[in-house]
Amino acid sequence: MTQPVANDFIRDIVRRDNELGTYGGRVQTRFPPEPNGYLHIGHAKAITVDFGTAEEFGGSCNLRLDDTNPDTEETEFVESIVADIAWLGFRPDRLLHASDYFGQLYDWAEELIARDLAFVDDQDIETISAQRGGFGRPGSDSPYRTRTVEENLDLFRRMRAGEFADGSRVLRAKIDMNHENMALRDPVMYRIRHRHHFRTGDQWCIYPTYDWAHGQSDAIEGVTHSICTLEFDTHRPLYDWYLAHLTLPAEAPRQIEFARLEFTHTITSKRRLAKLVADGVVDGWDDPRMPTLRGLRRRGYPPAAIRAFCSEIGTTRTNSRQSIEALESSVRRHLNTTAQRRMAVLRPLRLVIDNWPIDESGEPVTQYFEVANNPENPADGSRSVAFSGELFIEREDFAEVPPPKFFRLSVGREVRLRGAFLVTATAVDKDAEGEIVTVHASYDPATRGGDAPDGRKVKSTMHWVSARHAVEVTVALYDRLFTAPVPGESTGEALDDLNPQSRTLLDGAKAEAALAATPPGQVVQFERLGYFAHDSDTPLLFHRTVGLRDEWAAIQRRQG
Ligand code: ATP
Ligand code: MG
């Protein structure tokens, strides 16, 4: 799959490196998630940038699991990350793990110690942070900074051998406690953590920090352009410092930062998303309300729509929030061409056609209508839909006393039942509470197909389902997970803005028989209602992917 060649500052940098021959014309990128959760829509942006850039320049992109923190990482997450990248439509050149470099990283740390560029600090992390100073405020040297190389080597080896308790010592780079960039004030390289690691087991009890591991992992793999998000901007000098002070196998990689992708009405932080799962706010990482790739997949988002959106918005160095409606618009555009049409009634109301013919055995006759599966794609063919004297229509398509501008069914009014007949409501039956339980109607046999031979017009066309042929389905309707456009903007806590009505479950919706044959995970359009994805596990459960109205187009029109 080839992405359209975008012009952005990342491509410009790569192009210039190629012209200068910096990496001998080679382009190699990586996508480096920490396996501590599921990928979300923000990661989809990083994936399209990392894989897309490499592909455009004939290079390669690896998946590197940044598994340097044994506290939070699990095989479950590795497997989901691998599967989600494949679902999105990308194939990593190689599957790699930062933990495979623990040995090399350790050797490089000894190299820095030997050159008196790193030291073992016996202070705890709180004391160390307090000594870092602040912006415009100098830090102060650790009292252990002047240890001899021999003492540091001895202590570091004993740290590795497991002689010391968690938190009792760290290894720090010896750079400059007055550096204007806080990231270079003697940053921590190793922490002691007597913890089982899901890949290296109990082999290690010291673990590298992100900064110490990342650039070196890039260098080991031969990465040329290490693309990450803007929050690492201030870490770039440290990234470069480490690489400049080590004996590298090749030209040092270059870190490039771009703005994170964020959306209105949702969050893209694994930690916060994990809390939604842990607190039971959602059913799991793959709840259709989650902005995780798993959630979007279950919700029915086509991977092609996500990829197209990520490349259309471009790549910049300015943080901004995208409208969730813009993504939905892309989803709708893709589904419009691919989703087959079906009829389903979400809140059924019984409609009885009193003049419908009955057969010899006294049963209402069944007629069949041939209906196109997708008018946007004739290759999808057609199906036959049963029609009989007892139907379900949408409860909100009938009004006993029609309000102004209500053109759908009411007593005495004629409407079109889509693709079938014109019908006129004649009376209603109510239950003891006064609730309408049945609408009586008469049909005009001359209007088969939905048009009157005398050319008379009706103002409304409604969807319907034959009661006798209907299958019962459960439909989940979704609203925004967070009511506020920027969750947490007013209180600082996103969870304060949770929408308590983000899901409405409708049991007893009725659908034409063909819906039952929808393959798991497939999206269909319910006519007049929106796009709905068949659940991948529970038969006859449908999730509303998006409605039919393009809110994004409306927003853009309003903004002129
Ligand atoms: P989180 O805070 O959600 O855990 P993260 O940045 O820590 O996100 P990682 O798994 O460490 O997640 O990130 C893998 C890669 O994806 C990194 O290069 C990171 O910069 C990028 N990334 C993460 N979130 C976004 C986002 N919202 N938009 C674009 N890229 C992102
Ligand atoms: Mg992270």
Chain segment 161-179, per-residue pLDDT in tens = 999 999 999 999 999 999 9
The torsion of the CA quartet 4, 290, 269, 279, rounded to 10 degrees, works out to -170
The tokens for 197 are: 């690691």
**288 CA distance to ligand 2 centroid (A)?**
23
The CATH number of the domain where 499 resides is what? 1.10.1160.10
Instruction: Determine whether 328 is an active site residue.
Output: no
Amino acid at site 379? A
Whether 307 has a pLDDT exceeding 50, the answer reads yes
Do 143 and 13 fall into the same domain?
A: yes
Name the residue at shortest CA distance from atom 22 of ligand 1: 43
Looking at the 3D structure of the chain, how many domains does it have? Answer: 3
Name the residue at shortest CA distance from atom 30 of ligand 1: 46
Strands 261-263 and 320-322, by their bridges, are parallel
Name the residue at shortest CA distance from atom 26 of ligand 1: 42
Please state, for a pLDDT cut of 70, what percent of the chain lies above it: 99
List the catalytic residue out of 64, 174, 270, 332: 270
pLDDT, position 552 = 78
DSSP 239-278: HHHHHHTS--SSSPPEEEEEPPEEETTS---HHHHHHHHH
- CA 546 to chain CA centroid, Å, is 15
Is position 264 within any domain? no
Ligand 1: does its nearest atom lie under 6 Å from the Cβ of 34?
yes
Ligand 1: does its nearest atom lie under 6 Å from the Cβ of 229?
yes
Do 477 and 441 fall into the same domain?
A: no
pLDDT, position 244 = 97
Do 370 and 286 fall into the same domain?
A: no
Interacting residues of 365 by C-beta distance below 8 A, sequence separation 6+ = 356, 357, 358, 359, 388, 389
Is position 247 within any domain? yes
Do 334 and 298 fall into the same domain?
A: yes
Name the residue at shortest CA distance from atom 9 of ligand 1: 33
- CA 12 to chain CA centroid, Å, is 28
pLDDT (mean) for 316-340: 95
Contact 192, 165 (CB under 8 A): yes
Among residues 293, 325, 281, the alpha carbon closest in space to that of 481 is found at: 281
Do 202 and 325 fall into the same domain?
A: no
Whether 331 has a pLDDT exceeding 60, the answer reads yes
Pocket test for ligand 1, best of 10, 43, 72 (most atoms within 8 A of CB): 43
Ligand 1: does its nearest atom lie under 6 Å from the Cβ of 270?
yes
**276 CA distance to ligand 1 centroid (A)?**
18
Q: Which atom of ligand 1 is nearest to the CA of 50?
A: 18
Instruction: Determine whether 414 is an active site residue.
Output: no
pLDDT, position 557 = 80
Do 331 and 348 fall into the same domain?
A: no
pLDDT 10s digits, 333-384 = 999 999 999 999 999 999 999 999 999 999 999 999 999 999 999 999 999 9
Rounded distance between C-alpha atoms, residue 465 and residue 76, angstroms: 43
Mapped onto helix, strand or coil, the DSSP state of residue 291 is coil
CA distances 231 to 32, 76, 260, 302, Å, are 15, 27, 9, 30
Domain enclosing residue 441, as ranges: 343-470
SS (H, E, C) 7-46: CCHHHHHHHHHHHHCCCCCCCEEEECCCCCCCCEHHHHHH
Do 243 and 322 fall into the same domain?
A: no
- CA 81 to chain CA centroid, Å, is 12
Do 242 and 313 fall into the same domain?
A: no
Pocket test for ligand 1, best of 74, 80, 90, 229 (most atoms within 8 A of CB): 229
Do 352 and 331 fall into the same domain?
A: no
Is position 2 within any domain? no
pLDDT (mean) for 112-130: 97
CA distances 455 to 411, 446, 447, 451, Å, are 22, 11, 10, 7
Q: Which atom of ligand 1 is nearest to the CA of 227?
A: 18
pLDDT 10s digits, 206-234 = 999 999 999 999 999 999 999 999 999 99
pLDDT (mean) for 514-529: 97
Rounded distance between C-alpha atoms, residue 254 and residue 232, angstroms: 13
pTM to 2 decimal places: 0.94
Do 67 and 155 fall into the same domain?
A: yes
Contact 325, 335 (CB under 8 A): no
Domain boundary among 215, 237, 258: 258
**210 CA distance to ligand 2 centroid (A)?**
9
Is position 281 within any domain? yes
pLDDT, position 80 = 96
Whether 459 has a pLDDT exceeding 60, the answer reads yes
Band of the pLDDT at 560, cuts 50, 70, 90? low
E-strand ranges in 88-182 read 95-97, 118-121, 170-173
Band of the pLDDT at 2, cuts 50, 70, 90? very low
Instruction: Determine whether 262 is an active site residue.
Output: no
Is position 265 within any domain? no
List the catalytic residue out of 260, 321, 350, 528: 260
Contact 450, 427 (CB under 8 A): no
Contact 101, 144 (CB under 8 A): no
Q: Which atom of ligand 1 is nearest to the CA of 66?
A: 11
Is position 48 within any domain? yes
